[in-house]
Amino acid sequence: MALLTIDATHAKANTMKLVPERIMKHLAKGILKNIKQESVEIPPEINATIPDYKGIEDHKEAKEMIKTFLENMMTEIENNVDISTMAATLKAIVQAKEVLSHEKFIIQKGLRSLVDKDARVGYKSKTDSFFSGFRR
């Protein structure tokens, strides 16, 4: 006879829960920071001015605006900078592309933190939620 036990202990996530707009802003900042560190300056062909999404009332519009900015910025970088020797920048771009390509990211059903990628929102009831991390 086999016995299966499951531990349903909730562990609070060691991070803040972020909306997709904020995650994308952090991804853009990380890419730009790495380019500065690895090539001294950001080429003028690259739009490095991250738009202010907080002033937009419609969250769908804000998400789409920052997503479009991030995608365009990465394309500009790939077209104007030789990132093959820039390991940190390349890693940051790959991470950003992985996040953006996740089907549930924009609808806020997946990644909610860049610090603890396993953290998710859980629900004890319809009105009582918690932000928790999965520990292996």
In a domain, residue 83? The reply is yes
In a domain, residue 107? The reply is yes
In a domain, residue 13? The reply is no
In a domain, residue 117? The reply is yes
How confident is residue 65, by pLDDT bands cut at 50, 70 and 90? very high
In a domain, residue 126? The reply is yes
Q: What is the pLDDT of residues 81-133, one digit of tens each?
A: 899 899 999 999 999 998 888 776 666 655 555 556 566 566 666 666 555 55
Owning domain of residue 118:
20-44+53-132
Number of domains into which the chain is organized: 1
- CB-hemisphere CA count at 13 Å for 35? 23
Collapsed DSSP state (helix, strand, coil) of residue 103: coil
Amino acid 60: pLDDT: 86
Task: Say if CB 113 and CB 15 are below 8 A apart.
Answer: yes
Alpha carbon distances (Å) from 70 to 5, 12, 42, 66, 74: 44, 30, 15, 6, 6
In a domain, residue 8? The reply is no
In a domain, residue 2? The reply is no
In a domain, residue 103? The reply is yes
Task: With CA atoms as reference, report the closest residue to 99 among 134, 63, 52, 130.
Answer: 63
- The pTM of this model reads 0.69
Distance of CA 92 to the CA centre of its chain: 10
Amino acid 54: pLDDT: 86
Alpha-carbon distance of 41 to 99, in angstroms, equals 26
- Give the contacts of 82 (CB within 8 A, at least 6 positions apart): none
Amino acid 136: pLDDT: 46
Encoding tokens for residue 59?
A: 């969250």
Average pLDDT on 71-80 reads: 94
Amino acid 71: pLDDT: 96
Q: Is the pLDDT of residue 8 over 70?
A: no
Task: With CA atoms as reference, report the closest residue to 27 among 76, 60, 73.
Answer: 73
Residue 22 sits at φ, ψ, to 5 deg, of -70, -40
